Chain A
Amino acid sequence: MHDWHAYVREQSPELDDRVVQELAGHLEDVYSDLRASGLTQAEAIRRAERRVGGWLELRRGIQAARQEEAMQERVKQFWLPSLVTLVLGWGILTILICAGVQPFMTRPGRADGLYVYWPWVLALPFVGALGAYLSRRAEMRGWKVYVAGAFPVVAIAVVFLLILPWSFIADHQVVPALKLSGFAAGMVSWVLLPGIALCLGIALQGMRRFHSTNV
């Protein structure tokens, strides 16, 4: 009996075991039918091998299908929830600012004071929960759900981290200590507090999901 598993593995070492097993099973069935129709072993093997239709084409086809899958998965599980939370999170803040809502300030007029829009922070758990819901619904698990749900602050944290070193290089007017305290206050106001609010929503959504699954 021809070893079709070894043949497929030899032709396409990069294919995963599940695919190799499936293709080998297919070729084995083709071969068995050809033998049953009266062909010699050598001729049945030759014809069965021709049914592949090109190993390169097969590998590329499977790879393309897998890439398409992976891309769709990433969009559904991560990028779509991230976009929703980003637009909604910053959209709510924009609406509040346009409506004339004033922020709470610990040191008005100073860069190193806290600057918090409480109605916004209070709305963020719902935004985080929505992002987590979308991400978990698409079968995403673990820390990536938190990144997607808290994407508005992830984005702003990246901006802050890019601005700080740049300010040290480009701006010599402000003393470094003030820059650092302003940076710390900014991180607390725009990343830490909103981040906690978003993560609270993500965690609560996870607990609710866990509870409803158990019930």
Chain B
Amino acid sequence: MIRTELKRGTAELAILSVLECGPLHGYEIGRRIEEQSDGALHFTLAALYPLLYRMEHRGWLKAEWETGTNGKRRRCYQLTAKGKKGLAPLRAEWADLFRALRRVAKVSHA
């Protein structure tokens, strides 16, 4: 349970953080997270989409169908005001957790 919650928490933080720069569709969200984490964080569709739907319902994200320059329709997610507001305390919580882990486990990079 703790493991699941922990994974969900990190994934939520990652999604909110990449969306801070602007709206993205599901594939692009996963790709950016993978790129920015040097491949350490990797999302399968089974992990990504249930989470996106949950966050959308909670009002953190808003999704709209958009047609790209290549003519393909993609559902783009963007942060809502509630999501933006929720990001700062979430970041602070994780920063506290990493600091605590560093102290306890003597991990230099948590």
List the 10 closest A-B pairs by CB distance, nearest first. Answer: A53-B44, A61-B50, A53-B46, A58-B46, A29-B27, A57-B46, A65-B53, A69-B57, A65-B50, A26-B27
Given contacts A21-B75, A28-B72, 7 further A-B contacts (CB under 8 A): A22-B75, A25-B75, A26-B30, A52-B44, A58-B46, A65-B54, A69-B57
CB-based contact A69/B73 at 8 Å: no
* A55 and B45 alpha carbons, distance in the complex (Å): 9
Q: Number of A interface residues at 8 Å Cβ cutoff, please give it.
A: 27
CB-based contact A51/B44 at 8 Å: yes
* A77 and B25 alpha carbons, distance in the complex (Å): 30
Q: Give min CB distance, A75 to chain B, whole Å.
A: 13
Which residues, 43 to 83 on A, are CB-close (under 8 Å) to B?
51-55, 57-58, 61-62, 64-66, 68-69, 72
* A37 and B25 alpha carbons, distance in the complex (Å): 21
Residue of B nearest to A55 (CB): B46
* A52 and B49 alpha carbons, distance in the complex (Å): 10
* A65 and B49 alpha carbons, distance in the complex (Å): 9
CB-based contact B45/A69 at 8 Å: no
Residue of A nearest to B55 (CB): A65
Q: Give min CB distance, B36 to chain A, whole Å.
A: 17
Q: Does A19 contact B (CB under 8 A)?
A: yes
Chain A residues with CB below 8 A from B26, complex form: 22, 25-26
Max chain B CB contacts within 10 Å: which of A33, A52, A55, A58? A58
Q: Which residue numbers of B lie inside 8 Å of A, CB to CB?
A: 25-28, 30-31, 44-47, 49-51, 53-54, 57, 72-75
Chain A residues with CB below 8 A from B57, complex form: 65, 68-69, 72
28 A-B pairs (CB sep. < 8 Å)? A18-B75, A19-B49, A21-B75, A25-B27, A25-B72, A25-B73, A25-B74, A26-B45, A28-B72, A29-B28, A29-B74, A53-B44, A53-B45, A55-B46, A58-B50, A61-B47, A61-B49, A61-B51, A62-B53, A64-B50, A65-B50, A65-B51, A65-B54, A66-B53, A68-B54, A68-B57, A69-B54, A72-B57
Q: Give min CB distance, B94 to chain A, whole Å.
A: 23
* A53 and B11 alpha carbons, distance in the complex (Å): 16
* A54 and B47 alpha carbons, distance in the complex (Å): 10
Q: Give min CB distance, A19 to chain B, whole Å.
A: 7
* A28 and B47 alpha carbons, distance in the complex (Å): 18
* A27 and B28 alpha carbons, distance in the complex (Å): 11
